[in-house]
Each structure stands twice: as C-alpha cells, then as structure tokens.
Amino acid sequence: MTEPSAIRSPHADRPVVLSCAGLNRSFGGLKALKDATLDIHEGEIFGLVGPNGSGKTTLVNVVTGFYPPESGTVTLFGEPITGLAPHRIAERGVARTFQNLALFKGMSVLDNILIGRHVHMRPSALGALFYWWWAQKEELANRRMVEEVIEFMQLQDIRDEPVDVIPLGLQKRVELARALVAEPRLLILDEPMAGMNQEEKEYIARFILDAREERGVTVLIIEHHMDVVTAICDRVVVLSYGEIISQGRPQEAIGHPKVISAYLGERAAKRYQREAAS
C-alpha cells in the first residue's frame, strides 16, 4: 500500500464530502467490492482507476444508491446515506454521468440539458393555478441556469440541434452539462472521455477543471486514460477484483508494483520493473 504521506489529500484541511467505510458487495459468487474504504475532500478531483471488471462502477453505483452494500457505510456531507434511493441522494447534491451515453435521442441539446434541472423542479396543482405569479418565476430561474451552463460548456452554436446528430465529443459535453445544471456539490463521472480523440479529451479535462474552480464542484471520476488521471486528479484509488490495492497521488499510486501487476500480469510486470531499473 502507498505510504501515508502520499495518501494524504492536498485538500485534507477541508471537510470530507464523501466517505466510504468497509463497503462489500457481491453478485452471486463474484465479490465485486471487498472492504472498500476511501474519503474524498471538498474541492478534490478524485480518480477511481483499475482494469475492466475491477469494481469501479459497482462502487459508484453503491454510492449513488443503485446497489445497496451488503455491509459498510456511505456518508455524504457528514450524513449517512447508505440504502437511500438514487433520487434522494441526487436531492442531496450528487449528479453523475454514465459510462454509456444516456441522452434522449430525438430531443434537442437544450431539452436534454433542461432535464438535468428536474431535482429542482417542484410541480404542483397550486403552482399551475398561479402560474403567472409563482410557477413562471421558477421556470425562468431554471431556464437561466440552463443557459448559463450552455455558455459555460460552449454549446451555444448547437443548442437547438437534435442531440443524436452531433459528434460523440459534443454529446459527452452535453451529458456533462446536464449533470452541471443540477448544481451538484459532488459530481461523479463514469468514463467521460471514452471513445474520444486527444483534442476532445483535452476539452473535457479543461471543463472538469473549470467546474471545480468556478462552480465549486468536488469530482469523483472513473477514467482509463492515465494521461488524463495524472494531469487532473489530486488523488487516485486503484481497484483490482473489488479491492483497493493502491491509493495516493496519481504518479505514486499508479506506479505501485501491485497496480502494474494488475494491468500487465505478474510476468509482464516483473519484466517491466527490470527494464525500468536498467
């Protein structure tokens, strides 16, 4: 395991946003999470990496309420959320994107982003009755937030385009915009750069950094592109077969012998280490 000095967060003096303690989850005979424990501090960009099938998405699904853990606890902003339904967790300031695009085809970019405001919308019969005085004000406030995020994500030129006709890189940007209009305090991104070219990856990385700096968002990101992880993450946790095998600053955590072995296999890892030492 990485040394404690390397594990320590550069944001350690800030409050803990998300705390996972001893999370375990199985699917049949497969142990998807084994005593997973981590803390994410306010303002961090925290990376979750590991080979395919290592438990990254399972961990995120437990945090966001899609899977209940068999044991262990999840705490968000100091309050326990273990076992809460996904929409209740979203209402507490969590937004996420998914590994596979979850946009609504046939709808415009604007309408897809507007859907992200659902956690702030409170429809009611009374509101409809007094629309011009009450509900209209809420609708205009939601529209203003959407337009602000469209400008932030530089999507003005395609705001009225059907989302299914724009390139993948822009679709990923729309999905990130939809998460941001929920005004999250914790933003969870599941492989936001999958399938992108280098230029598109750099755009998304810049938007993630800007969201942290300008919008005060704490970020948990699952990502396979190690160049992105080392460039934007403050700390990372590496999972293998559901177990945390390394954590700390990106370079130290990813360079741990257990991580190299998990990615390359034991023989290839030993050869890699010999070549690196020579």
Question: Are 47 and 150 part of one and the same domain?
Answer: no
- CATH number where 53 lies: 3.40.50.300
Q: Which residue has the higher pLDDT, 105 or 24?
A: 24
Single-letter amino acid code for the residue at 122: R
Question: Are 45 and 63 part of one and the same domain?
Answer: yes
pLDDT band at 50 (very low <50, low <70, confident <90, very high): very high
Check residue 272 and give its pLDDT: 44
H helices then E strands: how many in the chain?
A: 12, 10
Among 168, 183, 198, residue at a domain's last position: 183
Cα angle, residue 177 at apex, residues 175 and 181 outer, rounded to 5°: 120
Among 183, 203, 231, residue at a domain's last position: 183
Check residue 172 and give its pLDDT: 93
Question: Are 44 and 176 part of one and the same domain?
Answer: no
* HSE of 139, CA atoms in CB hemisphere, 13 A: 11
- Phi and psi, residue 94, nearest 5°: -115, 130
Does 98 fall in a domain? Answer: no
Compute the average pLDDT of residues 90-116.
91
Strand-pair partners of 24: 71
Question: Are 13 and 62 part of one and the same domain?
Answer: yes
Compute the average pLDDT of residues 86-107.
91
Check residue 121 and give its pLDDT: 59
The residue to which tokens 């993948």 are assigned: 168
Compute the average pLDDT of residues 39-49.
97
Does 16 fall in a domain? Answer: yes
Question: Are 36 and 79 part of one and the same domain?
Answer: yes
Question: Are 74 and 200 part of one and the same domain?
Answer: yes
Among 152, 183, 214, residue at a domain's last position: 183
3-state DSSP call for residue 124?
A: coil
Q: How far apart are CA 40 and CA 18, in angstroms?
A: 5
pLDDT band at 117 (very low <50, low <70, confident <90, very high): confident
The per-residue b/e assignment along 113-125, b for 16 or more CB within 10 angstroms, e otherwise, is bbebbebeeeeee
Does 5 fall in a domain? Answer: yes
Compute the average pLDDT of residues 261-275.
60
Question: Are 11 and 128 part of one and the same domain?
Answer: no
Question: Are 14 and 53 part of one and the same domain?
Answer: yes
pLDDT at 238 over 60: yes
Check residue 2 and give its pLDDT: 43
Residue 212 domain boundaries? 1-93+185-278
Compute the average pLDDT of residues 164-170.
93
Count of domains observed in the chain: 2
Run of H or E including 41: strand 30-41
Question: Are 131 and 23 part of one and the same domain?
Answer: no
Residue range 241-250, pLDDT digits in tens: 999 999 999 9
Compute the average pLDDT of residues 68-90.
96
Does 154 fall in a domain? Answer: yes
Question: Are 120 and 205 part of one and the same domain?
Answer: no
Check residue 274 and give its pLDDT: 58
Question: Are 153 and 194 part of one and the same domain?
Answer: no
Provide the mean pLDDT of the chain: 87
Does 161 fall in a domain? Answer: yes
Question: Are 48 and 81 part of one and the same domain?
Answer: yes
